[in-house]
Amino acid sequence: MNFYLRDVTLTDTKDIHSYASLDEVSKYQGWGPDSLKDTENHVKMVMESDDNYYHKVIVDQSSDKVIGAIELSIDKDNDNGEIGYILHPEYWGRGIGTKAVHLILEYGFNELKLNRISATTDKRNTGSERVMQKSGMTKEGLLRENIKLKDGYRDTLVYSILSNEYHDSLEKFR
């Protein structure tokens, strides 16, 4: 499936809410499932964010429907970034998350000249962990019970990739 990334607009609220309101999407998160008003407030916050927060929606090219989002929070002082991503369950398992992460890594390392990009996930979220592994990230460790969820605390896996590792992996495929 072909997709593209673009800036979020207020008109995307209903598409975003179609996945942000699902239990299966938010079960590993400290938020949600979101109400329509929560989703609208989130969209407004993203639209007002500064240049330390790079946020794009993932859009199905054939239907022009927003099916997910990806973000890069940027720490310019330390040349670091942290990726977060979310995808409508109807699109899980198709490689979209991995391709979107690759696009953000390319932007972070080539355009922003970051040194390190990390990502985290609940240790039970094997799909998200696979995206990190397929993106060339290295598992750094486990943060025990660091995020409070509705049903207890979450253990969080931490993955990262360094600029030189990213560029070395590109050389292997040339």
Domains and CATH numbers, the chain: 3-172 (3.40.630.30)
User: Which pLDDT does position 172 carry in this prediction?
Assistant: 59
- Please report, rounded to a whole number, the percentage of residues in the chain having pLDDT higher than 90: 78
Q: Are 23 and 90 in contact (CB under 8 A)?
A: no
What is the distance between the alpha carbons of residues 74 and 80, in angstroms, rounded to a whole number?
6
Q: Which has more pLDDT, 38 or 139?
A: 139
Beta-carbon contacts of 50 under 8 Å, excluding residues fewer than 6 positions away, are none
Candidates 43, 23, 44; CA nearest to 32 is 23
Q: Which has more pLDDT, 164 or 26?
A: 164
Given a cut of 80, is residue 1 above it in pLDDT?
A: no
User: Which pLDDT does position 161 carry in this prediction?
Assistant: 98
- Predicted model pTM: 0.91
Given a cut of 90, is residue 158 above it in pLDDT?
A: yes
Q: Are 59 and 65 in contact (CB under 8 A)?
A: yes
User: Which pLDDT does position 83 carry in this prediction?
Assistant: 97
> What residue has token string 């990213």?
166
User: Which pLDDT does position 128 carry in this prediction?
Assistant: 94
Return the biggest CA–CA distance within the chain. Answer: 47
For the segment 93-137, what is each residue's pLDDT rounded down to a tens digit?
999 999 999 999 999 999 999 999 999 999 999 999 999 999 999
Res. 30 pLDDT band, cuts 50 70 90: low
**Mean residue pLDDT across the chain:** 92
